Chains A and B, each alone.
Chain A
């Protein structure tokens, strides 16, 4: 099977077979990162541009390492969101980049749909590295890979996503990814952070973490954006941590082989206590490790093979 899409804009557009292909390809690339010389010539002479309109350390570094281990040439463009409002538009930037013939543009942007806009205007493949509150497909793929590694299969697992669902692109991409792959998804979080009609996306909605923790094979904690306090969504981080955060006490109700995941960066003591984040059930660093393999797989699949438009 070949990967025939020009772009990776979201999990929503992917078929389960395509997701499996990405995961299987990632599995084969994992070994490269364990070698003393962590580089293969697969994408030599190819150009990957990382266009980041939002600050990111983990995702950008992960993409960059992935591209370099495949010998692609990489370029980073960081722009603050405010500079687009004042200066060059995304489409002007895109046209300028296009004139330099990149093979892939990796875009991180605070506005939902920005990668879709970009993809309509460039020949290069576009990878969505996070668009507003919409999708973060590579995060969901690395989460799937982590679950598959640890549990053997994704289908049939019960996955609890806990926290600020409404503002989370990680949650949205994971809802698509997990439901497509046959997992059962439960979500829990304060009502102010559960978006309208969420149940229509094929998930079961709860409010209190205690209602989902005992059922879960996997618990994904979401990062709480600290500035949400000012937007009437929650009274205080103290109360959030007490009611919705994951600590050792709440974890007593969990299954003995539960996996604890977090997309990072974590707010220690807010959505997750240090003891849980660093504890035996945590696979947070496996997620980071798998991120490189998944991104290598995507770069490889998007550049190689024939494409549909």
Chain B
């Protein structure tokens, strides 16, 4: 059975294509692309999908998701996280290892992949732990993790404080061609802080997390990547200093890549004025100067990828005093429209915006996806870039509701998502 996606604007960053094109899918693979009408007679039993007025892009890839399974299934499961991802236009997600127990061995990786196969929606690529139990003491078994299917290692959520361990991780991970994803935070400097250090934390009397807590660790990890030749990826850049450090080390030829989250490129710490715990994230939402630096980093390519850091929490963790609330917000179902705002503001071309959600993350995690190339798996997302909607957390597929974007007026809605040529999401209902 073939599918012909007709009449849409195809944006394929890897090939630079941004034009009105039709896309033919045969079975689970992309068969061909061509100007409007050119593919009409290529196939006999073809199901036509009308994409007039829509963008046709490679299935989005989120390289930073928390699925909470195993251990905290009341917040999210592999199934509900996959549903949320598909609704957000994603066909692939990487799930971070800070589950309970941590994903530091093949048993946990196997469990996640089995659940993902049962859900049978988006591709789930587990990220393994850097250290055993994410304790920052001993390296985890990367060979076993790699064989089980992890695409990277990270102690996300719990920064690696021991510089020697980080050095060894960057060395040892090269044997298995795994990137090391750094959650860059000096935990002593961050202390028990709950928000960005600046005039807003001074006004609110909330304990502060200085930008330096991030900057010193980004510098350390970039230095270690330089020394070891290891492949380093910095998660969720939030400070102007960190952006500048990545820019400098990239210019020196060090193998470092970086991501930014929609919340860090959309919000500033002024938003915390009402003590909304949904805005409590780590790293924290910083100042307008940091926001500008992240915009520049995205525009000049210093920041390769846009990733959600989708971090589900229930009301148990969030309907409490700000000091006691857990860090994190969900993002899978708002990431694309928030990214589109960057294009609206002229910071990125539509093609550059899509690149940071498709081919760039694919390259970083080393998977042959994120491109609309004949012969590759038919992971395709159809988006209506003009559709305005009001964000309603109660409509989310995610099990959790911790988004500060509730009530926001956004533009850009996922209309249909195909993975391996199969429709896994349409606007009306989710299959599976």
Bound together: yes
Write the residues of chain A forming the contact surface with B, with a CB cutoff of 8 angstroms: 12, 84-85, 89-91, 109-114, 116-117, 131-135, 169, 172, 195-198, 200-201
Inter-chain contacts of B210 with A (CB < 8 A) = 196
Most buried by B among A89, A114, A196: A196
A113 to B199, Cβ gap below 8 A?
A: no
Give the complex CA separation of A117 and B202 in angstroms.
Answer: 19
Q: Given known contacts A113-B322, A133-B205, what 12 new A-B pairs fall within 8 Å (CB)?
A: A91-B319, A112-B323, A113-B206, A117-B321, A117-B322, A134-B205, A135-B205, A195-B208, A196-B197, A196-B198, A198-B202, A201-B203
Q: Quick one: given A89-B320, A90-B320, A117-B275, are A112 and B202 in contact (CB under 8 Å)? A: no
Closest Cβ of chain B to A149, distance in Å, is 28
Cross-chain contact of A90 among B202, B204, B321 (Cβ < 8 A): B321
Q: Quick one: given A112-B204, A134-B205, are A200 and B323 in contact (CB under 8 Å)? A: no
Inter-chain contacts of B321 with A (CB < 8 A) = 90, 109, 111, 113-114, 117
Query: How many interface residues does chain B have, given as a range?
Result: 20 to 34
Q: Quick one: given A111-B321, A117-B321, A132-B323, are A12 and B197 in contact (CB under 8 Å)? A: no
Inter-chain contacts of A110 with B (CB < 8 A) = 323
The verdict on B334 contacting chain A, using a C-beta distance below 8 Å, is no
B205 to A197, Cβ gap below 8 A?
A: no
Inter-chain contacts of B275 with A (CB < 8 A) = 112-113, 116-117
Inter-chain contacts of A114 with B (CB < 8 A) = 321
List the 8 closest pairs (A to B, CB-CB), nearest first: A113-B275, A133-B205, A134-B205, A111-B321, A197-B199, A195-B202, A111-B323, A200-B199
A111 to B204, Cβ gap below 8 A?
A: no
Closest Cβ of chain B to A138, distance in Å, is 16
B199 to A196, Cβ gap below 8 A?
A: yes
Closest Cβ of chain B to A125, distance in Å, is 18
A195 to B201, Cβ gap below 8 A?
A: yes
The verdict on B429 contacting chain A, using a C-beta distance below 8 Å, is no
Q: Mark each residue of chain B from 178 to 206: 1 if its CB lies under 8 Å from any CB of chain A, else 0.
A: 00000000000000000001110111111
A172 to B205, Cβ gap below 8 A?
A: yes
Inter-chain contacts of B324 with A (CB < 8 A) = 84-85, 111
Inter-chain contacts of B319 with A (CB < 8 A) = 89, 91
Inter-chain contacts of A90 with B (CB < 8 A) = 320-321
Instruction: Output the nearest chain A residue to B323 by Cβ-Cβ distance.
Output: A111
Chain B, 271-294, CB within 8 A of any chain A CB? 274-275
B205 to A132, Cβ gap below 8 A?
A: yes
12 contacts between A and B (CB under 8 A): A12-B203, A89-B320, A111-B322, A111-B323, A112-B206, A112-B275, A112-B322, A134-B204, A172-B203, A197-B202, A200-B199, A201-B202
Give the complex CA separation of A131 and B203 in angstroms.
Answer: 13
Q: Mark each residue of chain B from 197 to 233: 1 if its CB lies under 8 Å from any CB of chain A, else 0.
A: 1110111111110100000000000000000000000
Inter-chain contacts of B203 with A (CB < 8 A) = 12, 172, 201
Closest Cβ of chain A to B394, distance in Å, is 18
Inter-chain contacts of A111 with B (CB < 8 A) = 321-324
Give the complex CA separation of A209 and B210 in angstroms.
Answer: 27
A134 to B206, Cβ gap below 8 A?
A: yes
Give the complex CA separation of A131 and B199 in angstroms.
Answer: 18
Q: Quick one: given A90-B321, A116-B274, A117-B275, are A169 and B202 in contact (CB under 8 Å)? A: no
Inter-chain contacts of A12 with B (CB < 8 A) = 203
Instruction: Output the nearest chain A residue to B322 by Cβ-Cβ distance.
Output: A113
Inter-chain contacts of B206 with A (CB < 8 A) = 112-113, 132-134
Give the complex CA separation of A135 and B321 in angstroms.
Answer: 15
Inter-chain contacts of A133 with B (CB < 8 A) = 205-207
Most buried by A among B201, B203, B210, B324: B203
Give the complex CA separation of A141 and B197 in angstroms.
Answer: 28
Instruction: Output the nearest chain B residue to A109 by Cβ-Cβ distance.
Output: B321
Closest Cβ of chain A to B202, distance in Å, is 4
Instruction: Output the nearest chain B residue to A134 by Cβ-Cβ distance.
Output: B205
